[in-house]
Amino acid sequence: MALPMVSLGSVIFHSLPIPQTSHVVPRFPCHCSLSSHPSSSHSLRLPWGRESPSARICASITDVSVDVAVEEKRLPKGETWSVHKFGGTCVGNSSRIKNVADIIINDDSERKFVVVSAMSKVTDMMYDLIDKARSRDESYVSALDAVLQKHSSTAYDLIAGEDLAAFLSQLHQDISDLKAMLQAIYIAGHATESFTEFVVGYGELWSAQMLSLVIKKQGIDCKWMDAREVLIVKPTRSDRVDPDYLESERRLEKWYSLNPSDVIVATGFIASTPQNIPTTLKRDGSDFSAAIMGALFKARQITIWTDVDGVYSADPRKVADAVILKTLSYQEAWEMSYFGANVLHPRTITPVIRYGIPIIIRNIFNLSSSGTMICHPSIIGDEDKLISKSYVKGFATIDNVALVNVEGTGMAGVPGTASAIFSAVKEVGANVIMISQASSEHSVCFAVPEKEVKAVAEVLQSLFHGALDAGRLSQVAIHPNCSILAAVGQKMASTPGVSATLFEALAKANINVRAVAQGCSEYNITVVVKREDSIKALRAVHSRFYLSRTTIAMGIIGPGLIGSTLIDQLNDQAAVLKDELNIDLRVMGIMGSKLMLLDDDKGINLEKWRELREEKGEVANLEKFVQIVHGNHFIPNSVLVDCTADSVIASNYEGWLCKGIHVITPNKKANSGPLDEYLRLRALQRQSYTHYFYEATVGAGLPIISTLRGLLETGDRILQIEGIFSGTLSYIFNNFKDGRLFSEVVAEARDAGYTEPDPRDDLSGTDVARKVIILARESGLKLELSDIPVENLVPEPLRGSASAQEFMQQLPKFDQELAEKLKDAESGGEVLRYVGVVDVRNSKGVVELRRYKKDDPFAQVSGSDNMIAFTTRRYKTQPLIVRGPGAGAQVTAAGIFSDILRLASYLGAPS
């Protein structure tokens, strides 16, 4: 009879069919055993027509003994069987193999079928042997010795006596066979794919034999199976095979009838073709083996043992807050694995769906973790209560893809255009990962791996050359450097708002979506983003759906009194923010007028920032500073906090907001500057998800801006805003009484630290005027700062004083004017207060010194408190009053901190 052949260049290997006699018992496989025995019937013939003096090759897959008869036993199927699969990491060394044996022995299932991979790194070592021999690198000999040493030393650790001797004898025979085969490859300089797959399967044979012997050593009847005797697959292309279930089932029943046992250890990854030629199951073949065998046995469950606790909601290397999913439906697992999640190969799920066999992913190094169960949705129930509320189970990404867009008005309504496109793509062997087509049929957009896009572009340009020249097609455009982000969840189907939430999260992170695809089954929503935004996008959507930490990269400009106080507050609250509020604030940069401190990784140690600035500080450079804070593509959100009073810094706000950088500031210069600049900033707020918060510009830590907006947003109408807006001037006029001199009180306020270094900055009223103009604009008035009349408390002759010291020395000469005003007010039972007023009804504002009756709320203010009264349509007879500390670094920094927390609440998941 004709024997199937494996060709190795001009060297021909004949392979014998698997013996099907019912009266034989397999022992150790001969696996293409080389022998110099004269009775060997199939010899290794060298190119020049002579037999090798040292070897003959026999590719019979089983070594059989014909003198032992076994009563055939029928294969039991169903719930009594549990299937376990252990990957290379699980059997990486002798101690781990012992651990695997313990797990199998302690499993209380009635019957157990175990699938094992080769020991860790062995498959790579076997491929390396082929590569070295094929490239005529003589080091394949020493590399083969390393393979022998790895397995022999492991065997010595695990087994003893006759079992050890038998295994080592077979191991040395296998190594001798391999050496001869590799020598043939070395001579020919070539090895076919079939021959390569035959060679790399040795690792599974050795690991399966050793594990079975370890279990047997514990007094348990255990057989080992060379899966090539049972598992038959039909190659469909170079990277895919399809199981022949009928033939595999027939051979399994025959194998079991000769080798009945309640514990079977089988090789993963390897199989045979219908012609009995050894092959492999390709990528993730051991998982696939376990699934096929589970289906053949109709097992109760399949456990895939690995080195992680289960399937995560996202790649934990990219999203630190990813959570273990307790359950996944088959469809969810398939979708996530297709889109690159480290779950299972999509084909692994296919064999078990028919019988509804659950697959459990467990961590062999953490037996306390229950892992992830992949099963029918009906089994899942309410196990994942937290996750079921979010409707999205997990997220996965595929990097290094390119978008291809075929566009033109001539495509609309023309049958066969899409077919022609994808037929051409198929011709060049490219893999289409996703497709997006508008209902207008004006364009077809699809994603392919970036390494394949050049060939795709060339074939499409050639195919549509005429249509492009004639104008029926406008372009075949390529968009490289993209990534695919997929959101997966069975409960997404028919749930309103999931897509909106996803896109809102991306928009808040300032991430542009280049293409979208969603099937009608709604198991996944797929978007294409720039590759550099991939991790940022993944973290943004995961944070939104999973209530995980909202991570914000922050840059602080101006570490003066207010800025340094803010930094200290952030440091004090860091643990609370992370543990209780799920906010991870990372200060990536601190910049002063001369020096800046940067850290583009995990953020600056805020406890030691002053020392670090002295040690590692560099010359301040605003452009570089912004680049470092915003340029971290692993953090989805970035904010710049401007704690200065610098108009130059404020002039950058618009550009920062356009880049997607949020801005928080107590700096009044931007909002009280030119009206058109203010209006542009407000327009940016309304038109994008980039936030600009400035609560501390008016009332330090008091909620003035938010109160005003709350009134307006709820439909109230502002009539007037009147207030003591300066903590400094509040202190001065609260203490300017009972005959005290004005200059004396100013000096006292300066010594107490209430005033600016130059008190004229407070007494001029300009700061109050800026706050008035901010509130006027927030109320809808279009006023410039020059439109606000200001009563300047600095005597005109002293406004040009050379220094603050000179001003203070001359101020007593001008006490008389204010003393007379105070006396006149007190004689009428009134007090003096320096206030700002926004008269909305008359579209004007004013800053001036006013008199109030002693029973008026403004007369009751004490210390350095601010007080703002809102007279509105609702609060007309009794104004709404906000009162509290309005000056000092602590309260101003607290106001900024409050804005930071408000930003985090906007960016993160809803409470």
Tell me what the mean pLDDT of segment 567-571 comes to: 95
Tell me what the mean pLDDT of segment 753-775 comes to: 92
Q: In what helix (H) or strand (E) does residue 613 lie, and over which residues does it extend? A: helix 609-616
12 has pLDDT over 50:
no
Q: Are 632 and 638 spatial neighbours (Cβ–Cβ below 8 Å)? A: yes
DSSP string, 347-412: HHHHHHHTTT--EEEEETT-TT---EEEE-HHHHTTS-HHHHHHS--EEEEEEEEEEEEEE-GGGT
Inter-axis angle of helices 453-463 and 417-427, nearest 10 = 130
694 has pLDDT over 80:
yes
Residue 417: the pLDDT is 78
Question: 802: alpha, beta or left, given left = phi > 0 and alpha = psi -120 to 50?
Answer: alpha
Inter-axis angle of helices 285-297 and 346-353, nearest 10 = 0
CA torsion 793→797→801→806, rounded to 10°? -80
Alpha-carbon distance of 403 to 432, in angstroms, equals: 10
What amino acid positions are annotated as catalytic residues?
771
Alpha-carbon distance of 696 to 281, in angstroms, equals: 65
The hierarchical CATH code for the domain 704-887 is 3.30.360.10
Phi/psi of residue 382, nearest 5 degrees: -110, 30
Residue 790: the pLDDT is 96
Alpha-carbon distance of 391 to 108, in angstroms, equals: 36
Tell me what the mean pLDDT of segment 623-648 comes to: 90
Query: Would you place residue 474 in the very low, low, confident or very high pLDDT band (cuts 50, 70, 90)?
Result: confident
Residue 20: the pLDDT is 36
Spans of all domains in the chain: 392-546, 550-698+899-907, 704-887
With a pLDDT cut of 70, the percent of the chain lying above it is 88
Residue 193: the pLDDT is 83
**Sign of the Cα pseudo-torsion (762, 765, 766, 771, in order):** positive
Task: Please give the structure tokens belonging to residue 791.
Answer: 């009563």
Task: Please give the structure tokens belonging to residue 80.
Answer: 């009594």
For 86, other C-beta atoms within 10 Å of its C-beta total 28
Residue 67: the pLDDT is 41
User: pLDDT by residue (tens digit) across 361-414?
Assistant: 999 999 999 999 999 876 665 544 444 455 788 898 999 999 999 888 767 666
Query: Would you place residue 671 in the very low, low, confident or very high pLDDT band (cuts 50, 70, 90)?
Result: very high
Residue 93: the pLDDT is 95
User: pLDDT by residue (tens digit) across 210-242?
Assistant: 999 999 999 999 999 999 999 999 988 767 889
807 has pLDDT over 90:
yes
Alpha-carbon distance of 702 to 687, in angstroms, equals: 27
Q: Tell me the HSE value of 104 on the side-chain side, using a 13 A CA sphere.
A: 32
Tell me what the mean pLDDT of segment 878-904 comes to: 90
Pairing of strands 583-591, 595-598: antiparallel
Residue 31: the pLDDT is 38
Residue 738: the pLDDT is 85
Query: Would you place residue 6 in the very low, low, confident or very high pLDDT band (cuts 50, 70, 90)?
Result: very low
User: pLDDT by residue (tens digit) across 716-746?
Assistant: 999 999 999 998 999 999 999 988 999 999 9
With a pLDDT cut of 90, the percent of the chain lying above it is 62
Inter-axis angle of helices 140-158 and 122-134, nearest 10 = 160
Residue 494: the pLDDT is 64
Find, among 261, 158, 273, the residue nearest to 217 by Cα: 158
Residue 864: the pLDDT is 87
For 558, other C-beta atoms within 10 Å of its C-beta total 23
Residue 893: the pLDDT is 93
Looking at residue 41, the DSSP 8-state letter turns out to be S
Residue 521: the pLDDT is 57
In 592-661, beta strands by DSSP E: 595-598, 618-619, 637-642
User: pLDDT by residue (tens digit) across 325-361?
Assistant: 999 989 888 888 877 677 777 788 889 998 999 999 9
User: pLDDT by residue (tens digit) across 293-325?
Assistant: 999 999 999 999 998 899 998 988 888 778 889
**Sign of the Cα pseudo-torsion (899, 905, 906, 911, in order):** negative
* Three-state DSSP state, 674: coil
Q: Are 531 and 537 spatial neighbours (Cβ–Cβ below 8 Å)? A: no
CATH superfamily to which 550-698+899-907 belongs: NAD(P)-binding Rossmann-like Domain (3.40.50.720)
Q: What is the pTM of this model?
A: 0.68
Alpha-carbon distance of 434 to 665, in angstroms, equals: 44
Alpha-carbon distance of 288 to 249, in angstroms, equals: 16
Q: Are 392 and 489 spatial neighbours (Cβ–Cβ below 8 Å)? A: yes
Average pLDDT across the chain, whole number: 86
Pairing of strands 618-619, 434-437: unpaired
**Sign of the Cα pseudo-torsion (13, 14, 19, 25, in order):** negative
Residue 500: the pLDDT is 85
Residue 52: the pLDDT is 34
CATH superfamily to which 392-546 belongs: VC0802-like (3.30.2130.10)
User: pLDDT by residue (tens digit) across 44-61?
Assistant: 333 223 233 333 333 334
71 has pLDDT over 60:
no
32 has pLDDT over 60:
no
User: pLDDT by residue (tens digit) across 604-615?
Assistant: 999 999 999 999
Which amino acid makes up residue 812?
A: P
User: pLDDT by residue (tens digit) across 138-153?
Assistant: 999 999 999 999 999 9
Q: Tell me the HSE value of 54 on the side-chain side, using a 13 A CA sphere.
A: 7
User: pLDDT by residue (tens digit) across 509-548?
Assistant: 888 999 998 865 568 899 999 999 999 899 889 888 876 6
Residue 121 vs residues 140, 147, 345, 539, 714: alpha-carbon distances, Å: 16, 10, 20, 32, 66
Which amino acid makes up residue 683?
A: A
Residue 316: the pLDDT is 86
Task: Please give the structure tokens belonging to residue 856.
Answer: 């008026």
∠ CA 648-651-653, nearest 5°, is 125
Rg of the chain on CA atoms, in Å: 39
852: exposed, middle or buried (C-beta count within 10 Å: 0-12, 13-18, 19+)?
middle
Of 490 and 715, more confident: 715
Residue 583: the pLDDT is 87
Residue 636: the pLDDT is 84
Find, among 309, 310, 126, the residue nearest to 206 by Cα: 126
Alpha-carbon distance of 233 to 245, in angstroms, equals: 8
In 229-281, beta strands by DSSP E: 233-237, 240-243, 263-267, 270-272, 278-280
Alpha-carbon distance of 864 to 834, in angstroms, equals: 12
Q: Are 235 and 274 spatial neighbours (Cβ–Cβ below 8 Å)? A: no
Pairing of strands 550-557, 524-530: unpaired
Of 707 and 467, more confident: 707
* Three-state DSSP state, 111: strand
256 has pLDDT over 90:
yes
Residue 797 vs residues 143, 801, 807, 812: alpha-carbon distances, Å: 94, 8, 10, 13
Q: In what helix (H) or strand (E) does residue 778 lie, and over which residues does it extend? A: helix 766-778
Which amino acid makes up residue 294?
A: G
Residue whose tokens read 């022609």: 420
Residue 390: the pLDDT is 57
Question: 581: alpha, beta or left, given left = phi > 0 and alpha = psi -120 to 50?
Answer: alpha
User: pLDDT by residue (tens digit) across 88-146?
Assistant: 999 999 999 999 999 999 999 999 999 999 999 999 999 999 999 999 999 999 999 99
Identify any residues that bridge with 596 across adjacent strands, giving them in sequence order: 591, 618
Residue 580: the pLDDT is 84
